[in-house]
């Protein structure tokens, strides 16, 4: 009888333990990782991959809960990530290099645009198609003495084409909407415009534009890399891999479904015009998906060019090891 009693107790204990294993109490492994992302500007379809990864559940599939914080003129993503308010930020490649020289250790782990969409914009009827066509014209800039950081692409273009900065006139850009400044006669061309949204604004107003792309004249800089701190990269490589995988999956979907994902952007800011967002999404696809490498990946030549420009204009005093500030290890090539 004692043997039977012991056997029954063992069976009961086994059933009890098995039942406990089937409870719905969450374990630490099932709790999503919380991630804050500091965007570089206000909400808009430029960040469609992030919105899509939220809406389509790609982050949820990777067990990540993502919060997307809008940017603005008074918000510096570098500072937000440095002080721990965000785990990831969006910033240009040149700012990441400059931060490194200031003992701030950030690492770019992907880029949104593989090609730089910044350009010199003019009305098509004015026939300004190459840098030489600017001679004798008035160019809209960010600072009249070309000392502003946003005037760096224009200065680099002058340096690489051999054009004399005094061979043209300058006016301060005050209206960034489409070609308003040009049509008002304030200038013949506008420097540093995004070819993506500028062309949409202009077409909506019935204007046709010409673009002189900085990337075609030696200024090939990543303008919106996804970055984190070196410490976070060392401590959370698998989380970064999951986050980037979901984000790039979001951009892949956005490229194939631009009209749908524009609606995702409007969810984050109901004041956005959906038709405009749809057209901007379509315009930026060639800069996101260049067709010659996985989306999100970065090229060594671009980083080398960026550093050379910063050295040329004295924005950094000596070169750094570029391998310490960017990596493609979290980009999964498409099969």
Q: How many CB atoms lie within 10 A of CB 260?
A: 16
CA distance 211 to 322: 30
Q: Which strands sit side by side in the sheet containing 138-141, from one edge to the other?
A: 169-172, 138-141, 189-194, 118-123, 209-213
| pLDDT given at position 12 | 38
β-bridge partners, 34: 65
Q: How many CB atoms lie within 10 A of CB 60?
A: 14
Dig out the tokens for 328 from the structure. Answer: 């493609």
pLDDT tens digit string along 156-206?
999 999 999 999 999 999 998 889 999 999 999 999 999 998 889 988 889
CA distance 85 to 237: 19
Dig out the tokens for 196 from the structure. Answer: 């993506």
Dig out the tokens for 296 from the structure. Answer: 């999100």
Cα–Cα distances in angstroms (integers) from residue 20 to residues 28, 310, 320, in the given order: 16, 61, 56
| pLDDT given at position 176 | 87
CA distance 199 to 178: 7
With vertex at residue 290, the alpha carbon angle to CA 154 and CA 249, rounded to the nearest 5 degrees, is 120
| pLDDT given at position 28 | 53
Helix, strand, coil share of the chain (percent; to 5): 50, 15, 35
Dig out the tokens for 97 from the structure. Answer: 């290099």
Give the DSSP letter of residue 279. H
Beta strand pairing call for 189-194 and 118-123? antiparallel
Cα–Cα distances in angstroms (integers) from residue 262 to residues 13, 118, 134, 177, in the given order: 56, 22, 36, 20
Which residue positions in the chain have pLDDT lower than 50?
A: 1-27
pLDDT tens digit string along 122-135?
999 999 999 999 99
Q: Which domains does the chain have, with CATH numbers?
A: 32-115+222-324 (3.40.190.10), 118-217 (3.40.190.10)
Q: Which strands sit side by side in the sheet containing 88-91, from one edge to the other?
A: 64-69, 33-38, 88-91, 225-229, 106-111
Closest CA to 191 of 138, 258, 246, 236: 138
Closest CA to 251 of 298, 285, 302: 285
pTM of the model: 0.88
């Amino acid at each position: 009888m004692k043997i039977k009693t012991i056997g029954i107790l063992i069976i009961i204990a086994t059933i009890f333990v098995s039942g406990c294993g089937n409870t719905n109490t969450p374990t630490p492994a099932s709790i999503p990782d919380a991630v804050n992302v500091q965007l570089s500007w206000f909400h808009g379809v430029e960040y469609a991959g992030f919105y899509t990864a939220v809406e389509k559940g790609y982050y949820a599939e990777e067990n990540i809960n993502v919060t997307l914080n809008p940017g603005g003129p008074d918000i510096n993503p570098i500072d937000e990530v440095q002080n721990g308010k965000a785990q990831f930020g969006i910033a240009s490649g040149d700012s990441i290099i400059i931060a490194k020289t200031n003992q701030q250790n950030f690492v770019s782990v992907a880029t949104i645009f593989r090609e730089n969409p910044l350009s010199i914009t003019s009305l098509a009827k004015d026939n300004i198609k190459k840098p030489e066509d600017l001679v004798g014209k008035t160019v809209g800039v960010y600072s009249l003495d070309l000392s502003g950081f946003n005037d760096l692409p224009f200065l680099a273009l002058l340096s690489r084409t051999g054009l004399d900065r005094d061979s043209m006139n300058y006016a301060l850009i005050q209206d960034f909407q489409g070609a308003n400044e040009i049509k008002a006669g304030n200038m013949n061309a506008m420097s540093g415009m995004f070819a993506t949204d500028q062309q949409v604004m202009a077409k909506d107003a019935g204007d046709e534009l010409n673009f002189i792309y900085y990337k075609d004249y030696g200024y090939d800089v990543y303008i919106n890399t996804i970055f984190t701190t070196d410490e976070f990269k060392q401590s959370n490589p698998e989380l970064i891999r999951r986050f980037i995988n979901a984000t790039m999956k979001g951009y892949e979907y956005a490229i194939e479904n631009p009209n749908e994902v524009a609606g995702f952007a409007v969810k984050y800011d109901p004041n956005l015009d959906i038709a405009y967002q749809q057209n901007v999404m379509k315009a930026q696809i060639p800069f996101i998906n260049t067709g010659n490498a996985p989306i999100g990946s970065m090229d060594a030549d671009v980083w080398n060019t960026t550093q050379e420009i910063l050295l040329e204009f004295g924005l950094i005093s000596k070169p750094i090891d570029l391998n310490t500030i960017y990596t493609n290890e979290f980009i999964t090539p498409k099969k």
